[in-house]
Amino acid sequence: MTSLPLIPVDPDAPGARRAAMPPQHLADLDLAGRKDLVTKLGESAFRARQVSTHYFGRLVRDPAQMTDLPASSRERLADQLLPRLLTPVRELACDDGATRKALWRLHDGSLVESVLMGYPDRVTVCISSQAGCGMACPFCATGQAGLTRNLSTAEIVDQAVYLAGVAASGKVAGSPPRLSHVVFMGMGEPLANYNRVIAAIRRLVAPAPEGLGLSQRHITVSTVGLVPAIHRLASEDLSVTLALSLHAPDDELRDELVPVNQRWKVCEVLDAAWAYAARTGRRVSIEYAMIKDVNDQPWRADLLGRLLAGKLAHVNLIPLNPTPGSRWDASPKPVEREFVRRLRDAGVSTTVRDTRGREIDGACGQLAAAEDSGTDPAGEMTA
Ligand code: SAH
């Protein structure tokens, strides 16, 4: 069994080593904060709204295109409000361009990744909330490397804004040009970077020019199950979708697959999920990676069905994406089908996640891991 400190490590805790955070960016601040900052720079407060309109409304970050600002202050305002946070290292595409993965280098050299997925009716981005992750789930590539640091609010928001710009450029063929959905399913545990993730969600849902104007219901926060933080999330005036990475219905196995279970057991984490559902009216998504001969037995499907029957829940089965060197593999399709059948027989709504981006390591920290180790993750890439 993986050992874990009983309380997850919080890099922001008093006494913890402070990792190098990036420069402040307008997406770190609400509109009032941006006005204060601009005034301190000796500019009129309304410049804050103008620059915000470029960034969030028009998805423009190049000062040369901000022709409504006096030429004399364009560069300075852009330097102060829009410092470069993400430097693209690689952009890969697959599924005929409908899936695009971005690997970014942050100002301190940390690597994080985001994925843009186009569908006929919507465009989704999957974003990271931390560089690395401290949760140590043994099947997850990010979990193997440990936590480097929390991302700032603007580093989180900028992934979505940048990829909203890619979508708006029409590069995602066959999809609407407007970003509509954001999932916190990239690197990191969002609820372990709580304040910055909440501020990022507020920017994503605020109407332009304060934010990106997405619907709260189109934002999904995925968590290993930090129980106090789930309760806290329920008390925010946000009705985002909660996804709980359960992966096992019994404590014995979940203690191993999701080590934070050693602190908060299956029954506690499910109680927190039901409290979230009751408070927000939102159906909770139960994530379950199907791992061959590990968590895919019929009796585990039945146990999961009993835990979830009658609850405001939906099961999302994820075929395991094997990480390099891992001893684990995805469940065979007939086993997966039987698992789905048993859950549905128990009255639990269940779907199997599509495996977008497999060939570009589109899941779970694998691109960043490959870049760090100097291997080529690209395979047969088209871009
Ligand atoms: N830390 C958060 C969000 C990041 S991961 C969480 O754990 O929920 C998003 C989802 O991908 C989680 O359900 C996670 O368990 C799952 N995942 C991680 N590695 C995987 C892999 N190799 N194959 C399939 N799913 C994986």
Is 13 inside any structural domain? no
Both 285 and 324 in one domain: the answer is: yes
pLDDT of residue 60: 96
Provide the mean pLDDT of the chain. Answer: 89
State the residue for tokens 């004399």. 72
pLDDT of residue 18: 56
Sign of CA dihedral 323, 325, 327, 329: positive
pLDDT of residue 347: 98
pLDDT of residue 124: 94
Both 107 and 219 in one domain: the answer is: yes
Mean per-residue pLDDT for 311-321?
A: 95
Residue 76: domain span: 29-81
- Comparing 127-141, 226-240, 251-265, 349-363, which segment has the lowest mean pLDDT? 349-363
Q: Which atom of ligand 1 is nearest to the CA of 140?
A: 19
Whole-angstrom distance, CA of residue 228 vs CA of residue 246: 16
- Comparing 91-100, 107-116, 138-147, 354-363, which segment has the lowest mean pLDDT? 354-363
| End-of-domain residue from the set 81, 102, 119 | 81
Q: Which of 43, 94, 113, 371 is catalytic?
A: 113
Both 327 and 345 in one domain: the answer is: yes
Is 16 inside any structural domain? no
Pocket lining: 136 vs ligand 1, CB cutoff 6 Å: no
**376 pLDDT more than 70:** no
- Concerning whether 268 is annotated as a catalytic residue, the answer is no
Mean per-residue pLDDT for 210-214?
A: 98
pLDDT of residue 366: 54
| End-of-domain residue from the set 52, 81, 110 | 81
Is 14 inside any structural domain? no
Mean per-residue pLDDT for 182-204?
A: 97
| End-of-domain residue from the set 48, 81, 114 | 81
Mean per-residue pLDDT for 119-147?
A: 94
Which of 133, 245, 246, 316 has most ligand 1 atoms within 8 Å of its beta carbon, as the pocket-test mutant? 245
Pocket lining: 320 vs ligand 1, CB cutoff 6 Å: yes
What's the CA-to-centroid distance between 40 and ligand 1, angstroms? 43
> Based on C-alpha coordinates, what's the Rg of the chain?
21
What's the CA-to-centroid distance between 38 and ligand 1, angstroms? 40
For strands 349-352 and 313-319, give the pairing: parallel
The whole model's pTM is what?
Answer: 0.92
Both 237 and 313 in one domain: the answer is: yes
- Comparing 52-56, 67-71, 314-318, 379-383, which segment has the lowest mean pLDDT? 379-383
Please give the tally of structural domains in the chain.
2
Cβ atoms within 10 Å, residue 213:
15
Mean per-residue pLDDT for 227-245?
A: 96
Both 196 and 298 in one domain: the answer is: yes
What's the CA-to-centroid distance between 245 and ligand 1, angstroms? 7
Q: Which amino acid residue places its CA nearest to atom 14 of ligand 1?
A: 245
Both 313 and 264 in one domain: the answer is: yes
User: Can you name the residues that pair with 326 across neighbouring β-strands?
Assistant: none
Both 76 and 221 in one domain: the answer is: no
- Concerning whether 133 is annotated as a catalytic residue, the answer is no
Pocket lining: 223 vs ligand 1, CB cutoff 6 Å: yes
**12 pLDDT more than 70:** no
Both 59 and 106 in one domain: the answer is: no
pLDDT of residue 42: 94
Asked whether the beta carbons of 82 and 64 are under 8 A apart, the reply is no
State the residue for tokens 């499907």. 301
User: Can you name the residues that pair with 91 across neighbouring β-strands?
Assistant: 102
Both 275 and 229 in one domain: the answer is: yes
Instruction: Return the closest-CA partner of residue 352 out of 296, 281, 300, 273.
Output: 296
SS3 238: coil
Mean per-residue pLDDT for 238-250?
A: 97
pLDDT of residue 374: 40
Pocket lining: 185 vs ligand 1, CB cutoff 6 Å: yes
| Domain CATH number, residue 167 | 3.20.20.70
Q: Which atom of ligand 1 is nearest to the CA of 189?
A: 1
Is 119 inside any structural domain? yes
Whole-angstrom distance, CA of residue 321 vs CA of residue 325: 12
Is 172 inside any structural domain? yes
Is 6 inside any structural domain? no
**19 pLDDT more than 90:** no
103 phi/psi in degrees, rounded to 5: -110, 125
pLDDT of residue 364: 47
